[in-house]
Amino acid sequence: MLGGRHVSKDGTAIHVALRPERLDSAAIEQLVESPANGAQCVFRGVVRRDSDLSPVESLEYEAYSEMAARQLKEMAKDASKKWPGARIALEHRLGSVPLGEPSVVIAVGTPHRAEAFACCRYLIEELKHRVPIWKKEIGATSSGWVEGSSTANQTE
């Protein structure tokens, strides 16, 4: 696992990780529990069957791991500045992820629901834009890399 956990004086807690093992949504959600929070928002991105390629059997995720872990921490810190006191847990899977399993889980705990929803949405959008993680769709008869929106995919 690459990543880590940080808790600040204002109650903000950040946990980020990249891991090859199956993601445990319940354990990730527990990381954002706090008596100060009245809302928890959880986003699970799961491997779906339909794509432009063919029926998908799995996705293969690769990353520039050190940079990806650094970017995850930075975007979580950015979110904690926008939503002080938020508890944030974000894990992304690397390697092969079968159909129906989560490839990313984001959990956010805040005092109110609007903050939790906004922070969770911010994190998934920033992850897609900033973090150098690439995915390959694996089908029964073909496979191919998916063009994403990560800035790591763009050239000058």
Number of structural domains found in the chain:
1
Q: Which residue has the tokens 């069957």?
A: 49
DSSP state of 145: E
> Does some domain include residue 90?
yes
Question: Which CATH number characterizes residue 113's domain?
Answer: 3.90.1170.40
Domain range for residue 75? 8-146
Average pLDDT (9-14) is 72
Least confident residue range of 23-32, 87-96, 101-110, 130-139: 130-139
Q: What is the pLDDT of residue 12?
A: 72
* Residue 154, domain member (yes or no): no
| E strands in the chain | 2-7, 13-19, 39-46, 56-63, 87-93, 95-98, 102-110, 133-139, 143-145
The H or E element that residue 81 is part of is helix 65-82
**2 is a domain residue:** no
156 in a structural domain: no
Q: What is the pLDDT of residue 156?
A: 35
Q: Is residue 49 part of a domain?
A: yes
Average pLDDT in the chain: 88
- Chain centroid to Cα 39, Å, comes to 19
The pLDDT tens digits of the residues spanning 101-148 come to 999 999 999 999 999 999 999 999 999 999 999 999 998 888 888 876
Confidence check: pLDDT of 32 > 60: yes
